[in-house]
Structures are given as structure tokens and as C-alpha cells.
Amino acid sequence: MIMNTNLLSKYLVDSKYLSGIIYFEELYSTNAYSKKIYHELKDNTIVLTSYQTNGTGRFGRPWQTNRNENLTFSLIKDYGLRIDEIHLMNFYTSYILYLTLNETSKDCSEHDLYLKWPNDLLLNRKKIAGILLDVKDMNSDMKKFIIGIGLNVNQEIFPEDINSKATSMKNEFKCEFMIEMILINFIKLFNENLCLLNQGDILMKLWKSKSNVIGKKVKFKQLDDGREAEVVVMDIDNDGGLIVSDVSGKTCKFYSGEISILYDE
Amino acid sequence: MKVDLNYIKKLIKILDTSNISEFEIEEEGTRIKLAKPRPKVIANTAPVNFPVYNPQVMSESGSAVSAAEPVKSVIESAVTEKSEKIIEVKSPMVGTFYSAPSPDAEPYISVGSNVSSGTVLCIIEAMKLMNEIEAEVSGKIVKILAENAQPVEYNQPLFLIEKN
């Protein structure tokens, strides 16, 4: 089913939550497209597609989705944050996505839904959403954020290589979801909680309360050389950094890299 | 005249404590010329060194040497370049430096590229935010100081731009 843009427009544009919706039945990447025409994109615009053909995560990693089954969009947000506060947009977005899932599925509490540093969403230990942000206009007070979100909604079959790591709402909650309603919920929650961006310490506290990583043994992978190490997560700092302790008890803080939780099984 | 280090050091000391800005001495076919930089320039060079102390003077005994002039001009130009023409672009955050928008894409800029205010120079990734670092001045890239996909620290110099 293609996206019901009339419904989205009625709930999101008429009510002034969004200034516009740019919809493509098929598009290579909503973030890449937004970056290309970002001068023309007003604050609170979304670029939405039912089929992203060339979506990427960090540095070229493919984000594959089936046609019409998932939510893939970019939200354009102009917001005044200092450079040392920019990371808050990342924690804010993933926190709002967490709230959106909670609101959308009433039996969410019966499942393990957690935030994973820096901004992934895990449902029953599998990745259900990915977020990637591009930041423009770094030199001005008002930064332009291109917030790219991919949420697996109704996709049932995943490629073999990611099948054990990825899942969808349908696979876990055992029912079909209306993609438009999830987007409407997200945009509303995003707009209604914006004041959290000006209260970084509260936001970080809320975020940490929805994350299960503190105190856990994780595998930490450095992006630059692919080095992996087993570490214990001590805390997530208010500046967003991941504080870990290695086998010798030495602590250090990371801003790049990736963790995967090691479950005792 | 036998050119000897202590002799030149003494001459430099005399010149330095005097009000004379330059002098020349010739003896047995060896000519030594010493000069002080203009006071304005001295003020800009933090440690006041003796610009004429040049080992070449010693090795070229017997021939006329005039080391002072070129050394002085080098120092003068270095001072102006550093303070006025060459702009250092520093990393505004801790993260990973990327020279191109994706692994198979062309780098944003390379040495010799002309940039203007707002030109994207690189990306610093931190916590899955891809932060586009922009030039603040117009000019030419003279040096790239960071390596692709390597971690960078806060305030670490990334590029040198020669201002137009």
C-alpha cells in the first residue's frame, strides 16, 4: 500500500506540526536527497518515501528495506544548539522514537524495548530502528538538522545476513501497523517535547532510564580500525560520551564507535 | 680572518645590545654582514632570536657571505603569514574525521582547492551525527592535517587555509 499522504497532510500540516511533506513512492535516500536540496527545505519539513533504494547507515553501510513495508523519512529541523550541545538532538530523536513505539503498541511493556548507545532502538534484543543525523550550517547559531529515521514496521522477511540482528514491529508484536499513524505519533511527540533539548541533563537522565546498557558487558568496536574489545559500560556522560571500563579497570570515554551487548546465554 | 663561532656570537651580542640595526665587517677576504629585524617584527616573534646566526657563514670561510638579508626576509614573511594569511581550521569536537561524504565518494577538498566561507571541508562524526565542518574564510587549502577515518580531538588542527 502506498502512503496515504492526504491523511498525513490533514493531521500534520493542517495542524501546523509540519510545514510540508515531500513524498516519493521511491527514492534513493531521504537524507542524501535532503542534503542536496537543503537550501530549499523549510524548518519542519519531512522527506518521506515508501521505498528507499539506496539507504545508508554510517559510512555506506546499507539500510535495506522492502517496498511499502517500513517507515523511512528525514525530518528537517532548524534548531539553535551550541556545538557542545549538538549531540542532544541525537539522544532526543531516539528517545522520542522510543516513546512513539510505546504509544503505538499497547502491549509494548510485555516486550524488551531499549535504547542502545548512541541512538539505536532494540526490540527483543534485535535492531528495529536506525537513526542518522546530518548537521548543516555548523557555523551559525541556528543549525539545520537532517534527521534520518528508518523504522522496520511490517517487514517480515529479512536478508539472511541480518536476520538474527534485525526485526520489525510486526514480527515482534504479531500484528500489522499503519505506517502513517506511527509517523503522526512521532511528529506530534517530537514537537510537544522540544523543551527537553534545552534541559540536557534531564534529557540524558530520561534517555538512560530507557537504556539497559549501563553496568553491562559489551563488545565495543572502534570505527577507525575495526578494533574490538570487551568492556563494561559505566555510564553515559551528559556530553553523550560512553564511559567504559576495560579488563584492567581503566576507564575511558568514547564518542565514536559501536557497541553490541553481550548476553549471558 | 678565520671565521669562528665565538667571534660571531660576540658580534651578535654587540649588535643586539646596541642601537645599530646592521653592520658589515670585512677582513682577509671574508665579509660578515649582520642585521636586526625591524622592531615591529621583533614584537611579533615571541622569542627574540638572533636572526643572523647562520651556520653557513662559518663554513664558507674565505668567500663573501651575506647571510643577514635573506634570513631576515624569511622571518618577516613567516610572521606575516602565520598571523594574517594562514588560517588554521580546528576540530570543534571530539569525533572521527571523514574527508568524503561516503567511502567511495571524492573528498570534499584537497590541497590546492579553493574554498569560500561555507564550503564543506570534512565531516566529523560523533554519536552518529555527521557534522559538516565549513570554511569560515575564502582562500586556498595549503595543508590537510588529519587522516580519513581517524579520531580527532577537540581543537585539533585539521586544515591550513591561505586566505585570499
Domains defined along chain A, listed by start:
5-209 (3.30.930.10), 217-261 (2.30.30.100)
Q: What is the pLDDT of residues A126-139, one digit of tens each?
A: 999 999 999 999 98
Q: Which residue has the higher pLDDT, A136 or A2?
A: A136
In a domain, B42, yes or no: no
Mean predicted lDDT score pLDDT of chain A: 92
Look at residue A116 in the predicted model and tell me its pLDDT.
94
Q: Note whether residue B41 is domain-resident.
A: no
Q: Is residue B158 part of a domain?
A: yes
Residue B61 lies inside a defined structural domain of this protein: no
CATH number, position B153: 2.40.50.100
Burial class (CB in 10 A: 0-12, 13-18, 19+), B110: exposed
* pLDDT tens track for A85-117: 999 999 999 999 999 999 998 777 788 999 999
Residues 120-149 of B with CB under 8 A from A: 125-134, 136, 149
- What pLDDT, in 10s, does the model give residues B31-76? 777 777 654 433 333 333 333 333 343 333 444 444 444 444 444 4
Mean pLDDT of A231-246: 95
pLDDT band at A263 (very low <50, low <70, confident <90, very high): confident
The pLDDT assigned to B11 comes to 72
Chain CA centroid to CA A122, Å: 11
- CA A37, A40, A44, A45 dihedral sign is negative
Domain count, chain B: 2
Same domain, B99 and B159: yes
Does the pLDDT at position B5 exceed 50? Answer: yes
Paired sense of beta strands A45-49 and A71-80, if any: antiparallel
Structural domain harbouring B28: 5-35
pLDDT digits (tens, 9 = 90+) for A25-79: 999 999 999 999 999 999 999 999 999 998 877 766 777 778 899 999 999 999 9
Whole-number Å distance between alpha carbons of A258 and A226: 10
Average pLDDT over residues B138-163: 95
Cell numbers that stand for A201 in this block: 541533563
Answer whether residue B72 is part of any domain: no
Give chain B's radius of gyration (CA, Å): 23
Residue B63 covered by a domain:
no
Whole-structure pTM value: 0.79
What pLDDT, on a 0 to 100 scale, did the predictor assign at position B4?
A: 74
Per-residue pLDDT, averaged over B2-28, amounts to 73
What number of CA atoms fall less than 13 Å from residue A140's CA on the CB side? 11
Which residue among B94, B104, B129 sits closest to A135, beta carbon to beta carbon?
A: B129
Same-domain status, B93 and B157: yes
Q: What is the pLDDT of residues A185-230, one digit of tens each?
A: 999 999 999 999 999 999 999 999 999 899 999 999 876 677 888 9
A60 touches chain B (CB under 8 A): yes
Residue A210's identity, in one-letter code, is K
The predicted pLDDT at position B22 comes to 74
Chain CA centroid to CA B93, Å: 25
- A61 to chain B, closest Cα gap in Å: 10
Report, as an integer, the average pLDDT of B112-139.
95
Residue A61 φ then ψ, to 5°: -65, 125
Say yes or no to pLDDT of B1 above 80: no
Does A224 contact B93 at a Cβ distance shorter than 8 Å?
no
- Contact call for A59 and B136, based on CB within 8 A: no
Does ipTM exceed 0.85?
yes
Rounded to whole angstroms, how far apart are CA atoms A225 and A244?
A: 18
The stretches of B122-161 forming alpha helices (DSSP H) are none
Q: Would you state the pLDDT for residue A18?
A: 98
